[in-house]
Amino acid sequence: MSWLPPDTEEPYEEYDDVDYRARPNPKANRPRSKQRPAHDDAVVARVTTVDRGRYTVLVDEGEDAERTVTATRARELRKQSIVTGDRVDLVGDVTGDEGSLARIVRVHERRTLLRRSADDTDAVERIIVANADQLLIVVAAADPAPRPRLVDRYLVAAFDAGITPLLVITKVDLADPSAFLAHFTGLDLQVVTSTPEHPPVAALLERLRGRTTVAVGHSGVGKSTLVNALVPGADRAVGVVNAVTGRGRHTSSSTVSLRLPEGGWIIDTPGVRSFGLGHVDPENILRAFGDLADVAAACPRGCTHLPDAPDCELVERAARGELGELGPQRLDSLQRLLTTLRSPRGRGTADSLGE
């Protein structure tokens, strides 16, 4: 499992080397590290799918010898989470031949980490995807109705992870999304709209090229339809929205990496419908609003930056009209996201995902 202790910025290094090597070896007098092979012959691989302790990885990516290999994890990595998107070192049978099994012996340092908690009061986090640079948030204009607070939660997760969000509104043939989109005018958020007849393939491929993008969205919004349009042959199962619940059928549940025709990856996360945000540091959210973060540097220590915060530099400058044209709206968005973090989910239904 990939549970990690709370309040640990970079827990991986700890698990990577120090943790297990320092442990006394009950079976021998020699230090355990001496028994361990150096794995100098290890090859680098990309984890594309994780399924109950089995990892599907890609070796020699982009080369003639590129192949898919099935792997397990080395015993000493039992405390280390290994997730889709990870770069790993692989030893053993790395041929990828039928019935072969390789072994993951190291996980490379991660550039980004998209994570979630079980719920908002829970600081224990679970990593969803490693090394992604973009979060594709798929929302339907109708059927199911869009919920700004759900998108807020996705945005918080993206900003916390240092990942760029990109919003796709599907089913604009069914409803006009402008009222919904008005919620996000203060954000640096690219928005693309989609219908099955006019999937924004060119516009999206442009933004996805060469990057690793994680796609998230509530069931039934048309994410599979979109992924199929983007990745010919992806064959993501398209469900039917239940007329009563407005939800789609859950057709698959494992996170899958799909290669984009023009380079780059899209990682589909059918199982991820909610984002507990208990682990998120509000500072990371503020950091995503660079201009406001600069101003907030002059705030009192521990300032919440919420409308009632005493002597908040942001609130005061906004009131004096000194935050620029979009400033008040941006502050509004920031405050909404910070409030999202503070209000435990599950009390109301507005932002609970009903799953």
Ligand X SMILES: Nc1nc2c(ncn2[C@@H]2O[C@H](COP(=O)(O)OP(=O)(O)OP(=O)(O)O)[C@@H](O)[C@H]2O)c(=O)[nH]1
Query: Which residue, 81 or 170, is less far from ligand X as judged by CB?
Result: 170
* Residue 305 found at the interface with Zn ion (CB under 5 A): yes
Among 177, 217, 276, 278, binds ligand X (CB under 6 A): 217
* Separation CA 72–CA 75 (nearest Å): 9
Structure tokens at 339: 């409030």
Q: Is 250 in the site for ligand X (CB under 6 A)?
A: yes
45, 130, 136, 221: residue in contact with ligand X (rule CB under 6 A): 221
193 assigned ligand-binding residue: no
**Contact predicate 125/11, CB 8 Å:** no
Residue spans of alpha helices (H) in 213-322? 223-230, 282-288, 290-296, 313-319
DSSP string for residues in 109-143: PPS-EEEEESSTT---EEEEEES--EEEEEEESSS
Binding piece for Zn ion, criterion CB under 5 A, among 16-24, 135-143, 179-187, 307-315: 307-315
Q: Interaction with ligand X in 170-209: which residues (CB under 6 A)?
A: 170-171, 173-174, 194-196
Q: How far is the CB of 286 from Zn ion (least distance, A)?
A: 9
Among 222, 264, 278, 327, binds ligand X (CB under 6 A): 222
User: Between residues 207 and 250, which has the closer beta carbon with respect to ligand X?
Assistant: 250
CA separation for the pair 19, 29 (Å, rounded): 18
CB closer to Zn ion out of 262 and 294? 294
Confirm or deny that 279 is annotated as ligand binding: no
Residue 74 belongs to what H/E stretch? none
Q: Is 299 annotated as a binding residue?
A: yes
By the rule CB under 5 A, 299 interacts with Zn ion: yes
CA–CA separation, 285 vs 348, rounded Å?
A: 23
Give the pair of three-digit tokens for residue 147: 């919920």
Binding partner of residue 170 among ligand X, Zn ion, none, CB under 5 to 8 Å per kind?
ligand X
Site for ligand X contains 225 (CB under 6 A): yes
Binding at 225: pick from ligand X, Zn ion, none (beta carbon under 5-8 Å per type): ligand X
* H helices, E strands: number in the chain: 11, 14
Hey, which residues between 111 and 170 contact ligand X (CB under 6 A)? Answer: 170
Q: Is 224 annotated as a binding residue?
A: yes
Contact region with Zn ion (CB under 5 A), list: 159-167, 182-190, 249-257, 313-321: 313-321
Instruction: Identify the CA nearest to 143 among candidates 215, 239, 247.
Output: 247
Task: Decide which of ligand X, Zn ion, none touches 238; Cβ closer than 5 to 8 Å per partner kind.
Answer: ligand X
Report yes or no: 229 and 251 within 8 Å, Cβ to Cβ. no
333 is in an annotated binding site: no
Residue 249 near which of ligand X, Zn ion, none (CB within 5-8 Å, type-dependent) = ligand X
- Cα 170 from Cα 219, distance rounded (Å): 12
Indicate whether 240 belongs to the interface with ligand X (CB under 6 A). yes
* Amino acid of residue 329: Q
Pick 11 or 217: Cβ nearer ligand X = 217
Cα atoms in the 13 Å half-sphere on the side-chain side of 349: 2
**218 labeled binding residue:** yes
Residue 134, judged by CB atoms within 10 A of its CB (0-12, 13-18, 19+), counts as buried
Binding residues for GTP: 170-173, 217-225
**Chain residues in the site for ligand X (CB under 6 A):** 170-171, 173-174, 194-196, 217, 219-225, 238-241, 248-251, 270
**Chain residues in the site for Zn ion (CB under 5 A):** 299, 303, 305, 312, 314
